[in-house]
């Protein structure tokens, strides 16, 4: 479904003077959420940058009703709210807005539980690839080679692939998006909101502070992540995976923007720039991403594909 910028509401959903850093991708993302879904939305936010960005209660810099909640159980609190709304006969969309830590690490168990129960909530992971709110410590979603304040010489492990893990939960809808392509994100939000059950959207959120790039480049970094092939945009719906329109060109390696263009503008990859051998680590990551997509795309039943692969490997 094409999304026209001119159709968006002109309401200010992120208020001026909120506590976000310059170039913050989270305020961009939150703005798009409300532009896409309108007013029948309630947010559940665990600890993270977004719990700070709101500013001081009783006022809030984010124009949403919000239940802030402890770090490890955002999905469960959302499930509870949704159950209450449903018993009151309301079809309010309850959205968890969590960071990569609140999603892939400390909040993972609760999210996996809500996904397995297929609770009728939407879960958005605003992935800035480290624990930014506490000062840029590595998370399981920090990419290979990236500097953080707990990986001074670059992270040794690869990024945990949460969207694929959510596909393995066989929930009705999983998508990836980035603040670099708001139309794509908004389209996916609107589609997800119409689906009953557990919806997961993984939003890549380039962070000028933690990734060390110029705050004017937030959207550009989101686009580069897609154009280098490192962060493919796709949707998984009714057991079928489809590469999204903005990523289709870049499934061919020769069409991709060289990864160096993405790395060189980010201070967190300074180590990689000194040691080109290590850049291969990220190139391998690109290959891995697309290999998964190739496998899942061919099937209407990804779990049977997984079984097939296991058989072939025996």
Partner 1 sequence: MIKTLTGNYAVAEAAKLARIKVTSAYPITPQTTIVEKLSEMIEKGELEAKMIRVESEHSALAATLGAAAAGSRAFTATASHGLLYMHEVLWWTASARIPVVMAVAARAIGAPWNIHVEHSDVVDQRDTGWIIGIAQENQEVLDMTIQAFRISEDPRVYLPVIVGLDGFILTHTVAPVNVPDQKDVDNWLPPRRQPYVITPESKIAMGNMTSDDDYYMMRYSIQVGQEAAKKVIEEVDQSYGKAFGRYYGGLVECYRCDDADYVMVLMGSWAGDAKEAVKILREKGINAGIARIRFIRPWPAEILREKLYNKKGVLVFDRSISFGNAGQLFTELSSTLYGMTNIRGVIAGLGGVDVLPEDFANEMIDFVNKVEENGKVYDPIKWLFPAKYRNVKIEEVVS
CB of 199 to partner 1, least distance (A): 17
Q: Which is nearer to partner 1, 93 or 218 (CB)?
A: 93
Give me the count of residues in the chain: 314
Whichever of 57 and 238 has its CB closer to partner 1, that residue is 57
Report how far apart, in Å, the C-alpha atoms of 158 and of each of 144, 163, 177, 205 are: 5, 14, 20, 18
CB nearer to partner 1: pick between 86 and 275? 86
Closest CA to 244 of 195, 301, 176, 298: 176
- Chain residues binding partner 1 by CB under 8 A are 39-42, 44, 51-52, 54-58, 60, 62-70, 72-88, 90, 92, 109-110, 112-113, 116-117, 119
Question: In the complex, what is the shortest distance from the CB of residue 67 to partner 1, in angstroms, rounded to a whole number?
Answer: 5
Q: Using CA atoms, how far apart are residues 256 and 124, in angstroms rounded to an integer?
A: 27
Taking the complex as a whole, the smallest distance from the CB of residue 15 to partner 1 amounts, in Å, to 11
Q: Looking at beta carbons only, is 73 or 289 nearer to partner 1?
A: 73
- Minimal distance in Å, beta carbon 53 to partner 1? 9
User: Among residues 200 and 213, whose Cβ is nearest to partner 1?
Assistant: 200
Query: Taking the CA atoms of the chain, what radius of gyration do you get in angstroms?
Result: 19
**DSSP symbol at 42:** E
CB of 109 to partner 1, least distance (A): 6
Can you give 219-240 as a three-state secondary structure string? HHHHHHHHHCCCCCCEEEECCE
Residue 166's contacts (CB-CB under 8 Å, 6 or more residues apart) are: 115, 174, 200, 202
Residue 65 or 267 with smaller CB distance to partner 1:
65
For residue 57, the minimal CB distance to partner 1 (Å) is: 5
Looking at residue 244, the DSSP 8-state letter turns out to be -
């Amino acid at each position: 479904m094409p999304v026209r910028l001119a159709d968006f509401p002109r309401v200010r959903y992120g208020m001026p003077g909120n506590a976000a850093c310059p170039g913050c991708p989270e305020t961009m993302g939150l703005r798009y959420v409300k532009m896409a879904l309108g007013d029948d939305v309630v947010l559940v936010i665990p600890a993270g940058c977004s719990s700070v960005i709101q500013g001081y209660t009783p006022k809030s810099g984010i124009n949403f009703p919000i239940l802030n909640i402890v770090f490890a159980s955002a999905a469960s609190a959302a499930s509870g709210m949704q159950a209450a709304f449903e018993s009151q006969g309301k079809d309010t969309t309850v959205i968890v807005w969590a960071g990569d830590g609140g999603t892939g690490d400390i909040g993972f168990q609760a999210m996996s539980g809500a996904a397995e129960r297929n609770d009728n909530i939407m879960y958005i992971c605003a992935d800035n690839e480290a624990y930014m709110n506490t000062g840029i410590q590595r998370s399981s979603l920090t990419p290979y080679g990236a500097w953080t304040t707990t990986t001074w010489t670059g992270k040794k492990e690869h990024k945990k692939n949460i969207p694929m893990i959510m596909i393995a939960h066989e929930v009705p809808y999983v998508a990836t998006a980035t603040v670099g392509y708001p139309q794509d994100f908004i389209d996916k939000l609107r589609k997800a909101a119409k689906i009953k059950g557990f919806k997961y959207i993984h939003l890549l959120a380039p962070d000028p502070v933690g990734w060390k790039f110029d705050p004017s480049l937030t959207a550009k970094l989101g686009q580069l992540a897609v154009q280098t092939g490192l962060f493919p945009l796709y949707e998984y719906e009714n057991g079928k995976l489809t590469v999204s329109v903005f990523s289709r060109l870049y499934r061919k390696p020769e069409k991709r923007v060289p990864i160096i263009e993405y790395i060189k503008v980010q201070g967190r990859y300074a180590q990689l720039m000194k040691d080109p051998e290590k850049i291969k680590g990220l190139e391998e990551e690109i290959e891995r991403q697309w290999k998964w997509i190739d496998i899942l795309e061919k099937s209407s039943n990804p779990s049977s594909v997984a079984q097939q692969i296991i058989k072939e490997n025996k």
